[in-house]
Homo-oligomer: A and B are copies of this chain.
Amino acid sequence: MARKTKEDTEHTYHQLLDAATLLFIEHGVAKTTLNDIAQRAGMTRGAVYWHFTNKDAVIKALWERNAGTAHHSFTHSLRNLDPQHPIAHFRQLIKSLLHNVISDPKLSQAMRIIMHCIEFSDEKTDLQQFLYRFRDDFYDALHTALTTLAQYHALRDDMNAAVLTSSLWAYINGLIHTHLEPDSKTVDLQQHYAALLDLWLNAALR
């Protein structure tokens, strides 16, 4: 097909990404072929190869489009807690984080894909490194925030920032992970996320 306008091209790009998202969730990344993605978006494989070099590039693009902004915004905030009200700011951040994951479909799709629909192995593939860079960056931001809180003597004094970071990291990951799981048996997170987080926050902060 012939050349399109810039808008057409961008539209195609997003259509491909949307199609990929749904297929990844429906059948997993490994079982989804580039042909599937193209067909679902009403195009041919060639179109996918025009926009992305391979399947991993699709996943990367998908992650950056759907989660990039939120990631950067949260890590930046965690690293720059309001000096006037660091505790309140932190509590609000953690809660809005979960709220975002729950209520923003694009974000929750992206998280679901990387949490459930991709295999992670010992191989240090390009994609794995790409995603782990985000993970590590977020973990680091969380650690920075808790270290800051420690300086304000806002943490319980029998556990240091590092251990509490791992604890919160596990808890948040666990909540999101179990929430996004197919056929999840857990309680409705939308309704209970504040209380669930308060359980931890009240236990860890003082």
Residues of A whose CB lies within 8 Å of any CB of B are 24-31, 116-123, 128, 132, 135-136, 139-140, 158-159, 162-163, 165-167, 169-175, 177-178, 181-183, 185-187, 192, 195-196, 199-200, 202-204
Q: Say how many copies of this protein the assembly contains.
A: 4
Q: Are A199 and B167 in contact (CB under 8 A)?
A: yes
Bound CA span A173–B169, Å: 11
Q: List 6 A-B contacts (CB under 8 A).
A: A25-B121, A28-B121, A117-B119, A117-B120, A121-B182, A159-B195
The 4 A-B pairs at the shortest CB distance, nearest first, are namely A174-B174, A170-B174, A30-B30, A28-B119
Tell me what chain A mostly uses at the interface: helix, strand, loop, or mixed: helix
Q: Are A120 and B128 in contact (CB under 8 A)?
A: no
**Considering only CB atoms, which chain B residue lies closest to A116 in the complex?**
B120
Instruction: Specify which chain B residues have a CB less than 8 angstroms from the CB of A28 in the assembled complex.
Output: 30, 119-121, 123
